[in-house]
Amino acid sequence: MLVVILFYISKLFSLQVADNEYNQLADNNAILTRVQYPSRGLIYDREGRLVVDNQPIYDLMVVPREVKGLDTLDLCHTLGITYEQFRERWRNMRNRRLNPGYSSHSPQRFMTRLTVEEYGVLQEKLYKYPGFYIQNQSVRRYLHEAGANVLGNIREVSKKEIEADNYYMQGDYAGDLGVEKFYENYLRGEKGQEVFLRNAYGRIKSRYEDGALDRVPVPGKNLKLAIDIELQKYGEQLMQNKLGAIVAIEPQTGEILALVSSPTYNPSLLTGRDRGDNYKVLAADEYKPLFDRAIMGAYPPGSTFKPTQGLIFLQEHTISPSTAYPCHEGFFARGIKVGCHVHDSPVSLIPAVSTSCNGYFCHAFRQMVDNVEKYGSRAEAFERWKNYIVDMGYGYRLGVDLPGEYRGFIPNSDFYGRYYGKNGWQAVTVISVSIGQGEVLATPLQIANLSATIANRGYYFTPHVVKSIQDSYIGEEYTKPHYTGVDPAHYETIVKGMRKAVTDGTCRIGAIPGVEVCGKTGTAQNPHGRDHSAFMGFAPMESPRIAIAVYVENAGWGASYGVPIGSLMMEKYLNGEIAPSRKWLEERMLGANTIVLKDNTDNDSQK
């Protein structure tokens, strides 16, 4: 008897005190909680122009337990759906695998994103459908047909996201890609709630405890982008019918002025009920518009890499500014040839930068890496070289405030040791890395960051697309300078070479009237088709305001597309317009198509 009594006592304690399940069921019978959704934070560009705001949508909610005597066919007619669709929605709603938060006592989403017209018709007849009510939400409205890769979009949360964050429930929306995803916790705000007391028939009697548990929703925080939306749109126009990217940075702050990935798409395509269908079309596109080439694309940097080489060789005293090397249409050693175009020979560092001489940087690289007497081994010399490259922002993620950034690739001595043996390789074996080819891969963001570093004469700030957050601080990681360890005096030498490239070298077509532009071309070899056209530069030479990188896939020489597009972007930002004397260049770039070529063979290789 004592054992039985103790058993009943423990069971009563468990049911009445320890286990909250029955208390919750009782509350569900007596109390109805309706979520009040906050307005999502607005997004402005650097000039205060509104880029993203909200527009209202309406979700049809239902408390299944309260649905009695429903005229199903009338509801279907009002909603514009068939009876079979009604049944399918009802089954999915009650499926706990698809809807883990299902309870017949609590509100469930029956239909989302009703239009204003649908809402108006339904509101008039809602009294006929017991258990159903309308809940207000908002979705994004993108005010410009640009910046999709920067802004991202919002979508319905997944089961995994609901399990990971108790903020979300079935049918909620969250950021997907871009700023919308990276700054989700700032943009989403805090939910509110209204709590009602119900009678025994489930009808609402009054606010529970006179609204003591009600909470007003807190709007999300507004963001101010570093992006200039007009410059962004101009960049996307210049990159129409081209594959590639443009990244423009303000050197003094690391703020990204434009981040163009081409091809792109209208961000409004991923809003509304057609979002799913439009997403499938974009995902199936062979040119991958959803792939952000600016931060995810892995490209050989080509000759835009050469300034890093000059800086390293100067810092390591491998060369001086006056050191000259021969170049007879290329570099030749041990049966290996690295070709080069015709120019004066021998050549010193500044003209080597301005003419983009392959031979010069191959000779200097060989002199450093093969200097076993100074470094102890080729592996140690190469590691010294690699560490400088990493300090200049290559080989690892820079930390941009966007999801999905790729790290690029810079090989180390162990990488070559695995292929050639610990002592089975020398500078000539890996000579292509000295001119940004071979195993070296970089993102357009990293190339633009190098340009900003040179503009600053030896330091950079982590590139970022958000300038400020309402009532918050963007973080020290975006305001702390990163130094490369190279003497600023050596940067002045490289700047002179980049300036000479514009006045008397490979970047002459990039000259802007009245502006001292510094630039460096890149023609990156591509084993899968035509060479890539690249450019990096900054302006003005003193107190630079913009640094830029342009990368156009399969477009040939750097001066063909990279330089013109880069210089037009800089002119547009600095002067607000393109000079009449350069309108012909603008029209040529706007009308150019580097994707579809007349030669079918070239076209196939590009694809």
Which pair of tokens denotes residue 162? 């609901």
Count of other CB atoms within 10 angstroms of residue 287: 12
Over range 362-378, report the average pLDDT. Answer: 95
Contact 597, 529 (CB under 8 A): no
Instruction: Determine the Cα–Cα distance for residues 306 and 537; give it in Å rounded to an integer.
Output: 13
| Sequence-ordered strand ranges (E) for 359-501 | 459-461, 466-469, 481-483
What's the confidence (pLDDT) of residue 423?
Answer: 85
What's the confidence (pLDDT) of residue 18?
Answer: 60
Find residue 36's DSSP bridge partners: 192
Instruction: Determine the Cα–Cα distance for residues 242 and 589; give it in Å rounded to an integer.
Output: 10
What's the confidence (pLDDT) of residue 289?
Answer: 96
Contact 134, 110 (CB under 8 A): no
Provide the CB-side half-sphere exposure for 599 (13 A, CA). Answer: 8
Give tens-digit pLDDT for 115-133: 788 888 898 889 899 889 8
Contact 365, 309 (CB under 8 A): yes
Give tens-digit pLDDT for 37-53: 899 999 999 999 999 99
7 versus 218: the higher-pLDDT residue is 218
Instruction: Determine the Cα–Cα distance for residues 451 and 536; give it in Å rounded to an integer.
Output: 6
Residue 86, by phi and psi: left (phi above 0), alpha (psi -120 to 50) or beta?
alpha
Of 461, 464, 438, the C-alpha closest to 299 is: 438
606 pLDDT higher than 60: no
DSSP state letters, 538-574? EESSSS--EEEEEEETT--STTTTHHHHHHHHHHHHH
User: What are the structural domains of the chain?
Assistant: 37-188+212-221 (3.90.1310.10), 229-281+288-606 (3.40.710.10)
The burial class, CB within 10 Å (0-12 / 13-18 / 19+), for 60 is: buried
Of 255, 186, 242, the C-alpha closest to 597 is: 242
Whether the predicted model's global pTM rises above the 0.85 cut: yes
Highest mean pLDDT among 72-76, 131-135, 156-160: 72-76
Q: Considering the chain, what is the average pLDDT of its residues?
A: 90
14 pLDDT higher than 60: yes
Q: What's the N-to-C CA distance of the chain in angstroms?
A: 84
